[in-house]
């Protein structure tokens, strides 16, 4: 299943945010911008920003995550958050030697559904390798005819072949990525993806990310999570109807720190 690692983040993220905010509201200059920013004053600045809705200083804090064991289906969802940077393991350059894939929990707990699912994964993998081998053989002949040596021709042929063979691979295929995002956009990400109405896989990733950043910047992410943590549910008729349970979940998560 999904595993999220906080690879790196802005040094002293909350003090960086407080410094930017301080510049906006005082006559401080750059050389002395951090002077007097104790932990207490830093927390006060960050809380003030949340209270007045001044969010731009929060953008100065960045967080970089390593995300693995997730599906290509999740990739399609997470990259919709455009104020972020992504580096993803390529199916074009990396051959799927032993197909690793994500199994949805609802399928995993139904023996018949699980067998059907595994069979379809095996068929897709077999088709992928058959196509890659067939295409590679044809490309190798072309490269040899063009004068390339055998080793180079074979290597180039395989790379070219998997470009097209990958089209039969399912959304379930595992992938991994590095994602960098600023704190303001990350709060927006949590707003949408920690919600019970979010798809289960990306909700799990979002919860892991929130737990990690809450440890290093607790004031920035003090009320981060689904919107119902600080107000009513905005989903209307589509609401999960579990506000009490959701609030308890995130309260318990933060108490662990």
**Residue 257: its pLDDT value, please?**
67
For residue 55, the model assigns a pLDDT of: 85
Q: Regarding predicted confidence, which is higher, 149 or 1?
A: 149
Rounded to whole angstroms, the Cα distance separating 94 from 193 reads 29
Q: pLDDT tens for residues 4-52?
A: 999 999 999 999 998 888 887 777 778 778 887 888 888 888 888 877 7
Catalytic residue IDs = 193
Q: In what order do the strands lie in the sheet with 62-71?
A: 3-9, 62-71, 174-182, 84-88
Quick: pLDDT tens for 243-252: 999 999 999 9
Whether the CB-CB separation of 186 and 63 falls below 8 Å is answered with yes
Mean predicted lDDT score pLDDT of the chain: 92
The model's pTM is 0.91
CB contact at 8 A, 139 and 157: yes
pLDDT confidence bin for 192, thresholds 50/70/90: very high
pLDDT at 53 over 90: no
Tell the burial category of 28 from Cβ atoms under 10 Å away from its Cβ (0-12, 13-18, 19+): middle
What is residue 208's predicted lDDT score, i.e. its pLDDT?
97
The predicted pLDDT at position 154 comes to 93
Segment 59-88, tens digit of pLDDT: 999 999 999 999 999 999 999 998 999 999
The tokens describing 13, both together, are: 């993220």
Query: 161-177, pLDDT tens digit by residue?
Result: 999 999 999 999 999 99
pLDDT in tens, 102-159: 999 999 999 999 999 999 999 999 999 999 999 999 999 999 999 999 999 999 999 9
How does DSSP assign the chain, residue by residue?
Answer: --EEEEEEE-SSHHHHHHHHHHHHHS---GGGTTTT--HHHHHHHHHHHHHHT--GGGGG-EEEEEEEEEEHHHHHHHTT--SEEEEE--TTTS--SS--B---HHHHT-HHHHHHHHHHHHHHHHHHHHHHHHHHHHHHHHHHHTT--HHHHHHHHHHHHHHHHGGG--TTBEEEEEEEEEHHHHHHHHHHHSSTTS-HHHHHHHHHHHHHHHHH-TTTTTT-SSGGGSS--TTGGG--S-HHHHHHHHHHHHHT-
For tokens 């318990």, what's the residue?
252
């Amino acid at each position: 299943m999904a595993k999220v690692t906080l690879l790196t983040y802005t040094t002293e993220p909350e003090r960086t945010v407080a410094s930017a905010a301080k510049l906006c509201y005082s006559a401080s200059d750059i050389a002395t911008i951090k002077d007097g920013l104790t932990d207490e004053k830093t927390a006060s600045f960050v809380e003030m920003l949340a209270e007045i809705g001044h969010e731009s200083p929060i953008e100065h804090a960045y967080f970089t995550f390593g995300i693995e064991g997730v599906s290509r289906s999740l990739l399609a969802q997470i990259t919709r958050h455009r104020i972020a940077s992504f580096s993803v393991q390529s199916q074009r350059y990396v051959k799927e030697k032993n197909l690793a894939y994500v199994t949805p929990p609802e399928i995993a707990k139904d023996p018949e559904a699980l067998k059907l699912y595994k069979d379809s994964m095996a068929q897709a993998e077999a088709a992928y390798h058959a196509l890659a081998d067939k295409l590679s053989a044809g490309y190798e002949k072309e490269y040899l005819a063009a004068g390339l040596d055998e080793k180079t021709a074979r290597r180039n042929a395989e790379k070219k072949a998997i470009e097209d063979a990958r089209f039969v691979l399912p959304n379930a295929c595992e992938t991994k990525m590095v994602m960098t995002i600023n704190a303001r956009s990350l709060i927006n990400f949590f707003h949408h993806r920690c919600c019970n109405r979010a798809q289960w896989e990306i909700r799990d990733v979002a919860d892991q990310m929130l737990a990690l950043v809450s440890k290093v910047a607790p004031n920035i992410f003090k009320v981060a999570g689904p919107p119902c943590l600080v107000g009513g549910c905005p989903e209307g008729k589509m609401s999960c109807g579990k506000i009490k349970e959701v609030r308890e979940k995130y309260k318990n998560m933060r108490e662990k720190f």
